[in-house]
Structure 1
Amino acid sequence: MPFIRSNEAAVHEIHGVRFTSYVRPATGSRDLAAWRGEIPAGTVAQPHVISHEEAFYVLSGRLRLTIDGETAELGAGDAAVAPAGSALAVANTTDEPASMWVTTRVGLSAELSDGSTLTPPWAN
């Protein structure tokens, strides 16, 4: 099925962030996963190490991304790429919500700082 309607998106919330998953195996994708992340004001996500490359595109607001110790403030229209195996942290330190579009390969997992592994349903 090459077309995915908004009512087919699956919504997941974790650590206060909303992930609206559009592209995933359940909607017909074999290789790619893509979702919209909505990050509330004042959110500092837990750092994690990603198993697959991820591409980020900021849709609205401002976000601080840290990839393997290098940090950048990104605004709407800015993008970033985190290589597979990199340590990643995302924060919205502003008083306004922000959103981004994220794309990766199906099968993404993330190792959290406590050693546990998260296999996000929006990317699998």
Structure 2
Amino acid sequence: MRPAAVLLAAWAIGAPALAAPPAVFVNEADVVRQERPPHDGKGMSTAYRISDAAPGRTMEFRKRVLHRGATIGLHVIDHDEVYYVVSGQADVTSDGVTRRLGPGGAAYLYAGANVGAVQVGDEDLALIISYPLPPKS
């Protein structure tokens, strides 16, 4: 039975609903670090590993700032993934097609695609990156 169906069935028979874990609240200043961009990227970045603070999580949610000239190297993804531009400019590539994105622009990238991003322009590129984690066995 799907989770929504289980909750509906529990409600229908008056059983208590399954309790969600308590919320995790994160201040990005508590999870920041300087590191090379992922996937053999070039340059330097500031990573805000926001979802790392959530035990038992099923998704990643990160902010990454690519500094001038930095890149997230091309890599094949095994899950859908979203790059959302908060500030700056990005050239985002998916399977050889490159598109320039600015603030408010998003790229929905599909499993199996070869993807990457390049900071362009004078301003650092701030991205939100989110994707599901593989199920725990």
Coarse TM-score class (shorter-chain normalised): 0.7 to 0.9
Q: Which residue of the partner structure matches residue 31 of structure 1?
A: 58
1:5 aligns with 2:26: yes
Give the alignment's Cα RMSD to 1 decimal. Answer: 1.9
Structure 1 segments, 4+ long, off by >2 Å, are 7-12
Q: Give unmatched runs, 5+ long, in structure 1.
A: 108-124
**Counterpart Cα distance in 2 of 1:56 and 1:47:** 14
TM-score using structure 1 length: 0.75
Number of corresponding residues: 106
Q: Is the 8 A contact 1:57 1:77 kept in 2?
A: yes
Q: Which runs of 5+ in 2 are unaligned?
A: 1-21, 38-43
1:34-45 alignment, distance < 5 Å: 34-45=61-72
| Greater relative contact order (Cα < 8 A, sep 6+) | 1
CA distance in 1, matches of 2:30, 2:68: 27
- Report the structure, 1 or 2, having the larger strand content: 1
CA distance in 2, matches of 1:29, 1:59: 27
Larger Rg: 2
- Rounded to whole Å, the distance in 2 between the matches of 1:12 and 1:106 is 23
Q: Quick one: structure 1 residues 10 and 18, their matched pair in 2 at CA, closer, same or farther if it must change by over 3 Å?
A: closer
Query: Identity, % of aligned pairs?
Result: 25
Using the TM superposition, give the Cα deviation of residue 12 of structure 1 relative to its aligned residue in structure 2, in angstroms.
5.5
Letter in structure 1 aligned against 2:31: A
TM-score calculated relative to the size of structure 2: 0.68
CA contact (8 A) 2:32 2:46 kept: no
Deviation of residue 10 (structure 1)?
5.2
Looking at structure 2, the residues matched to 76 and 37 of structure 1 have their Cα atoms a distance apart, in angstroms, of 14
Aligned-partner Cα distance in 2 for 1:92–1:4: 29
Say whether 1:100 aligns with 2:122: no
